[in-house]
Amino acid sequence: MKRIERYDVINTLIKRYKYKKYLEIGVHNNECFDKINIEFKKGIDPKPLKSFECVSIMTSDDFFKKSNHKWDIIFIDGLHIEEQVDRDISNSLACLNLGGIIALHDCRPKKIEETTTKRLYFDMSWHGTVWKSFVKLRMTRNDLVLYTIDEAPMGIIHRGRQNIIPYEELTFEQFISNEKYYLNLITADEFLKNKLNKWPERISLL
């Protein structure tokens, strides 16, 4: 499978739905942020490696308390802890324009060492407990639609309709044994060729 980069996913969505306003939570070194092609973009990070005018140096919690802006697309790649991701998703949903999308990074860990609540080694992928936030919404929110692009891997969230899956407290082993089901995986090819007509509920508001 050919990997698709996160900025490719975001730029595809921007072009497809003619989005104008982009917010990125967790710009870090601007690797993704700099490659986003959109009319207006804003970044948030309490400790960015590079600072510039369109990045607010603060936590996402503080930003959402102070901002009343609406956004077309929001990329969440901040603190990879379930409680924080829950808040970032909730705050993002509250300030999305109609037909807007949330993109969520790091929701598909491959091994348990990547799911610690604190990054142990900087040369190792760290997904934290983002997957728990994503799966929780799959189990509890029938007013949202969630799926994950396999080769990105990037979770997509927007308002719409979905059949919720049975609620249960998952261990990582249970999650990874059936990740296709829990993450509602689609292929990058399906995403890039916009084959979502197979699942009309996914684009009901777009």
Q: Which residue type, as a one-letter code, is found at position 26?
A: G
Least confident residue range of 59-68, 78-87, 128-137, 191-200: 191-200
Number of folded domains that form the chain: 1
What was the pLDDT predicted at 151? 87
Q: What is the span of the domain harbouring residue 79?
A: 6-196
* In-domain check, residue 1: no
* In-domain check, residue 202: no
End-to-end CA distance of the chain: 28
Look up residue 165 and give its DSSP letter: P
CATH number at residue 180: 3.40.50.150
What was the pLDDT predicted at 37? 97
Specify the higher pLDDT residue, 50 or 203.
Answer: 50
Specify the higher pLDDT residue, 50 or 145.
Answer: 145
What was the pLDDT predicted at 14? 96
* In-domain check, residue 164: yes
205 band by pLDDT with thresholds 50, 70 and 90: very low
* In-domain check, residue 19: yes
204 band by pLDDT with thresholds 50, 70 and 90: very low
Per-residue pLDDT tens for 126-174? 778 999 999 999 999 999 999 999 988 899 999 998 999 999 899 999 9
Per-residue pLDDT tens for 54-74? 899 999 999 999 999 999 999
User: Mean of the pLDDT values across residues 172-187?
Assistant: 94
Prediction pTM value: 0.91
CA of residue 118 relative to chain centroid, distance: 19
* In-domain check, residue 11: yes
Per-residue pLDDT tens for 92-126? 999 999 999 999 999 998 888 887 777 655 555 77
Query: Is pLDDT of 52 > 60?
Result: yes
* In-domain check, residue 23: yes
Cβ atoms of 74 and 103 closer than 8 Å: yes
* Largest CA-CA distance found in the chain, in angstroms, rounded: 45
Query: Is pLDDT of 199 > 50?
Result: no
User: Mean of the pLDDT values across residues 25-41?
Assistant: 94
Closest CA to 36 of 49, 55, 60, 64: 55
What was the pLDDT predicted at 50? 77
User: Mean of the pLDDT values across residues 76-90?
Assistant: 96
**Strand ranges in 26-135 using DSSP code E only, listed in sequence order:** 40-44, 55-56, 71-76, 96-105
Q: How many CB atoms lie within 10 A of CB 16?
A: 14
* In-domain check, residue 88: yes
Cβ atoms of 203 and 160 closer than 8 Å: yes
* In-domain check, residue 205: no
Query: Is pLDDT of 91 > 90?
Result: yes
Least confident residue range of 2-6, 177-181, 192-196: 192-196
